[in-house]
Structure 1
C-alpha cells in the first residue's frame, strides 16, 4: 500500500512498448494510444560517453515504428528484458522518450519528472554501471556475499558459541557509493519512485518507502547496517499524513522543511555534468515539497523557513587549516544568488 503509484491514471507523453511477445519489436508509443492505468517501469542510468541511440526530431517517426536494436546500449537492452520479467510491457527511458535536440520538448518533459517517476511501478537502476556499455548484470562470485561462520569459545557468557560475520558496509559501499547514485539527477529519481531495484556489483538491492533489502538480507537490512537513508521513509510518513487528511498542518509543514534539508544535504554531495542543472535536477522534488508546505520556493529555499535555511555551510573538509572558511568555489555560470546553497560546488549541511 505504501509503495503504490501516486496517480495510477498518469502516463508520460511517450513510453517504449516492448510488445506482447519476446519476438516483438520495441517501439515508441504515445500516451493517448494507451489505456488509462497502464503500468510502466522507469530506468535510472549513467549516460557516460557511450554513443547509444537517442531520440531526436529526425528519428522520431522511425522510432514510432521500431527502435534500432543494434543502436541500443547494453543497459537499455537488458532493461527491456527486465521489464518483461517484471510482468510489464512499457518502459520509460529519458534519452529515448525525450526529444534530445528539442529545447521545448526537454523543458516540457523535465518539468514532468516528478510525475513520471512517482507514477512508475518500479524503477530499474543500473547502479554500478558507469555508462550504457556495462549493462545491468556484472560478473560476480556468489560466495563473496556468503556469511562467514566464526566459532567462539567463552565459558563466561551465555551467548551462543557460533557467530556469523557479514559485511556491514554492504549498503553504504554498493548502493549509496555506487556510480549511479553519485549523480545529481538520480537523487530525485530514487526518492520519487515508489520502489527501486538496484543492480549492484555483487547482488540485487531493493529499496522502497518502507523497506531496504538485498539478496543476503531478503527480509530487510538490520538496523546495525550503516548508510541506509531515512529520507525516503520520512517522505512516506508525510505522504501518509496527507492521505489521511491529518489536521496537524503545522507539524506536517515542519516535517516537510526537515525533509527538504535532508534532500539538499544528500543532493549537494552528488555531481552534475552541467551547472545549469543544479536547481532543475531537484525541481520535481521541490514540486512535491510545495505540495506539503504550501510555501513560496526561492532558489532552493522556502520563504516561511527562509532564516533557518540560510544557516547552511560547506562540509568541514572544505575548511582550511586556519579554521577559516575557504573561498567557496562558485559555479561557472550564474545559477542562484550567493545566499543559496545552489550557488556553490560543495556539499552543504545545516547548522
Structure 2
C-alpha cells in the first residue's frame, strides 16, 4: 500500500490541546518532566524515556509522572481534569478514545482464577463514578496508595489508559488500514452473511424450522421506515422467509411493549418515532441489510398474557437458531441508548508536525500514525464484559444464534459457528476460543459440533456443566424465569447430543436423567448463595428443588472428574443409584418449576459437624466432623474437611454448637481403598412422622477416607445401623444402603 493511499486517509478531528501534542505547543506544559519509573531515588536517567514525557510508542496518557525537582505527581496528558477531558471528547477523537477507556470495564482474563474464585464473566469498572468526577492533576488525591507521593510511582493503580500507536508506513502495519478497501461495515457484514448462508447444516436435524408467531414488518418510506406487527401464520409467509432477531437488555424500563389491549393497534402500525433508539437502530440496520422482518421480544410477545409468554418462551430455540442474524445491542444498558451509545471512533489518524516528536520515534514529517485504545481490540473485553452479557435471558440469544452482529461503542464485531470472529477495523478474523471448559463464555462451535468434542475428548456432560456454570452467574429480574431462560439452550443441547428430549421426565429442573447422578455433583463458588423465596413474593408458587444448581444464584462448579471415564458403569461406580425423578413444570419440560423430587439409593450417614471452623478459605470452611451410628454413638472421626454450605454466608455464623446433618456419598474413588470422596450435605425435612426419609440439600464437601465398605463396617458394629427408622424410606440389610428422597 503506497504512502499516497495513507495520505488519502483523512486525519481525525482533534481539539487544540491534543493537536498541540503533535505540533509541539504542549511542550512548555511539561518541560522538565520524566516518567515516574525513571525517578526512583538514586536511579540513573532512563534512556528509553527521555523528555518530553509523552510515553512510549505503545502507551500514552493518563499515567502519573514526577517532576525532576520533586513537584507533586500530575497527569502527563495535557487535559489536567477528567471533566475537561469528557467535555472535549464530544468533538475530539483522541479525547473520546480516552473517555471510552474510563467508561470501560477492567477485564478479568485469567480463566483459572475466575473459575476458582467464582468471578462473573465480566470485569469491574476501572474508575468509580466519584473518582472520575473528582480526578484532578494531583493524582494521589484520587485514592490513597495509588501513587507514592515521594516518587510518583504507581502502587496497584488501575487507572492507566494505554493507547496503541502504530506507524502506518511500516510494512508490518499495512494490515491496519487494509480493511478500508473492503467496503463499508454494512457491505462486509452482508458479505459474511452470504458466505455463511448454509448455517442451517450445523443445526440439529431434529430442530424443526418455524417462523416466530409474530414479526415486525419493516418498509422503507421517504418519511422514514414504517413498522407494523404481523402474525406469521395469518400472513402465510414462506417458512424460509429471513428475519433478524434483536438481543437487548430491558434495563429498568421498557418504553414500549406489546400488551393485549394494543395488539390491534400494533397490527395497524407502530409510529417509528415512538420506538426507543435501540429498536429504531435495529430496524434501520435490518433494512440496510435487505431484510424486511424483525423480531423483538417486547414487541412480539404479549407481555401481560402469562399463557402467551409461556408458549413463546418454549419457542426460543427456533427463534434464535433460524434467525438470519441476531443483532446484539452489547453496549446498551436499556433500549433508549441505541446500538452504539457512544460514537465508534475505531481509530485516530494523526500526522505529527512537531520535529521533536517525530525525531524521538524515528518518524518522518508527514507520516501517518494510527492511535487506538487496545482495550477495544479484545473481544473478551468489548463483548464478554459488555452490559448485555450480564443478563440471564441473553445467554441463549448468543449461544443459539448461528450468526451474531455485536454492536459496541468501540467497533462492531460479527461471528458465526466457527473459530473466526470478524471486526470493523481488520480484514483478518481473530480466534476467541475459550474452550468447553470455560466458565465465562459459551463455545458456540463445541456446542453445535459433536464431532469436535469427540476429537478434543470433551464429554457431553462436561460441556453441559460448563454451560450451566456460565449461565448461572447472570442476573434475572424474575425468579420463575431461572430455568425458562435456559430452556432453549437445554432443548438444543439435548437434540445435538441425542438425548431423548421428548421423553417425559428426561429433563428435570436443569439436569438430565440420562446424566444422573452427575447433575447433582456441584458446589457453590465464592459469593454464590441459595435463593430463599420470601413469603408473599410474586413468584411464590414456583420453586426449584434444592438438588438443582438452579436453586443457587452465582457460580456453581461441578465435581465431574469421573465423567472422563469411557464406560457408563465405570463412571457411576461409587455413586448412588437413581430410583426415581419427578418434576412438575408449567407449559412443558422447560417451563417454570412448581415442585420436584429425586429418590436415590446408596450410602448416607448422620454426622455431627464441629461448631468452629479450623480454617477459613475463600469458598470453604474446614471443620472436623464425626460419623454417628443410629444409636448416637461415634463411629468415625474426620480431622477436618472443606465444608461448603449452599448458604454459607448466612448460615455458618449461626452455629451455636456442634450441628447434626446428613452426609450422602455422591462419588468416591473406590469402595474399599483410601481415596477422595465427594458428598452432599443434607438436612431432614420434618421429624419423619408424616413422611420418612425426606431431605433437603444444604451443601457439599470433599474428604478422604478408606472407602464405603470400611466406613460401613465401623458404623454397623455391634448390630448398629447408620440411620434410624424415621430417617429413610427403605433399607438394604445386605449392603446397609438406604433409599431416601431429596426435594
TM-score (normalizing by structure 1): 0.81
User: Distance between the aligned counterparts of 1:11 and 1:39, measured in 2?
Assistant: 9
User: Distance between the aligned counterparts of 1:121 and 1:8, measured in 2?
Assistant: 16
For residue 349 of structure 1, the aligned residue among 534, 546, 557 is: 557
- Relative distance call for 1:254 and 1:166 in structure 2 (3 A) is closer
Residues 273-288 of structure 1: pairs in structure 2 closer than 5 A: 273-288=477-492
User: Distance between the aligned counterparts of 2:406 and 2:232, measured in 1?
Assistant: 27
User: Distance between the aligned counterparts of 1:8 and 1:174, measured in 2?
Assistant: 34
The alignment status of 1:175 with 2:383, answered yes or no, reads yes
RMSD: 3.3
Shift of 1:262: 2.0
Shift of 1:125: 0.7
Q: Give SS of 1:18's match.
A: strand
Between 14-23 and 294-303, the greater mean CA deviation after superposition:
14-23
Residues 158-173 of structure 1: pairs in structure 2 closer than 5 A: 166-167=374-375, 170-173=378-381
Write 1 or 2 for the structure with the bigger share of helix.
1
Q: Give SS of 2:485's match.
A: helix
Q: Deviations over 1:47-86 (max 9, x none)?
A: 1123421111111111111013232110000000010111
Give the match for residue 235 of structure 1: 447
Q: Deviations over 1:80-129 (max 9, x none)?
A: 00101111110000010011111111111111011111010100011111
- Relative distance call for 1:20 and 1:139 in structure 2 (3 A) is closer
For residue 13 of structure 1, the aligned residue among 191, 213, 220 is: 213
Q: Deviations over 1:153-195 (max 9, x none)?
A: xxxxxxxxxxx99549722221011010111011011011111
- Relative distance call for 1:189 and 1:145 in structure 2 (3 A) is farther
Give the match for residue 26 of structure 1: 227
**2:226–2:271 contact (8 Å) kept in structure 1:** no
Give the match for residue 202 of structure 1: 410
User: Distance between the aligned counterparts of 1:145 and 1:302, measured in 2?
Assistant: 55
Residues 56-95 of structure 1: pairs in structure 2 closer than 5 A: 56-95=259-298
User: Distance between the aligned counterparts of 1:25 and 1:31, measured in 2?
Assistant: 18
**1:335–1:342 contact (8 Å) kept in structure 2:** no
Q: Give SS of 2:256's match.
A: coil
Give the match for residue 215 of structure 1: 424
Q: Give SS of 2:480's match.
A: helix
User: Distance between the aligned counterparts of 1:253 and 1:107, measured in 2?
Assistant: 37
Give the match for residue 300 of structure 1: 510
Between 223-232 and 268-277, the greater mean CA deviation after superposition:
223-232
Shift of 1:223: 5.9
Shift of 1:304: 2.1
Between 77-86 and 3-12, the greater mean CA deviation after superposition:
3-12
Give the match for residue 192 of structure 1: 400
The alignment status of 1:340 with 2:548, answered yes or no, reads yes
User: Distance between the aligned counterparts of 1:252 and 1:90, measured in 2?
Assistant: 39
User: Distance between the aligned counterparts of 1:253 and 1:13, measured in 2?
Assistant: 39
For the pair shown, the structure with the greater C-alpha radius of gyration is 2
**1:300–1:342 contact (8 Å) kept in structure 2:** yes
Write 1 or 2 for the structure with the bigger share of strand.
2
Between 198-207 and 44-53, the greater mean CA deviation after superposition:
44-53
- Relative distance call for 1:97 and 1:253 in structure 2 (3 A) is farther
Q: Deviations over 1:172-227 (max 9, x none)?
A: 22101101011101101101111110111211011221122222444221469999
Q: Give SS of 1:37's match.
A: coil
Residues 115-130 of structure 1: pairs in structure 2 closer than 5 A: 115-130=318-333
Shift of 1:2: 8.3
Give the match for residue 322 of structure 1: none
The alignment status of 1:314 with 2:524, answered yes or no, reads yes
TM-score (normalizing by structure 2): 0.40
- Relative distance call for 1:42 and 1:349 in structure 2 (3 A) is same
- Relative distance call for 1:252 and 1:336 in structure 2 (3 A) is farther
Give the match for residue 4 of structure 1: 199
**1:278–1:335 contact (8 Å) kept in structure 2:** no
Structure 1: tracts of 5 or more residues without a match: 153-163, 242-247, 320-327
Number of aligned residue pairs: give it.
320
User: Distance between the aligned counterparts of 1:318 and 1:172, measured in 2?
Assistant: 23
Q: Give SS of 1:278's match.
A: helix
Give the match for residue 530 of structure 2: 329
